[in-house]
Structure 1
């Protein structure tokens, strides 16, 4: 989704798999992707993108880290790419999402000190 390095990320996963298992099963990258999709219902790229989006949402609501720091920690090449992908996925810019979720949480609890995210 918001990471240009997702292909290299999956190549890393693929090559970190037990080499003996790869040789015994003769898995190519294409076969790995197909088997992964059969097992999870998602392509490897989509699977990682969804997990990164979930992590971004959690970080935006639970900590005071800057959006740039969150974007870079999740592997995005820039804040602009992160913002664009986040907006595509959620319909909100990261700062708008943070503000909206926090205001809703504040209305429910009355303070942020009671939150355990």
Structure 2
């Protein structure tokens, strides 16, 4: 949707609005219900707000879905190898256009973030 909006010179925020108005699956209704507001969407309102679960129930369904996704991801995820001082590494430049050679000068006291 975002690519199509870009190609058609449309507002990408309208794409996000429509995406968030769309129910995720049969058990999880539209995420827009978490906003506690009715929105103006191209989708008919009965589609979004009819057969509505409560806000808390929708949030719980989303959390269960996210935990299941994390569980599947963690099956194949591996920890990164430890980096040693004076080890040769490659670092992405600030423009994120190229990787440049570098060398580890010291290790931080805190562990690196995993996010």
TM-score by length of 1: 0.27
Is the helix fraction higher in 1 or 2? 1
| Structure with larger RCO (C-alpha < 8 A, sep 6+) | 1
Higher Rg of the two aligned structures: 2
Is the strand fraction higher in 1 or 2? 2
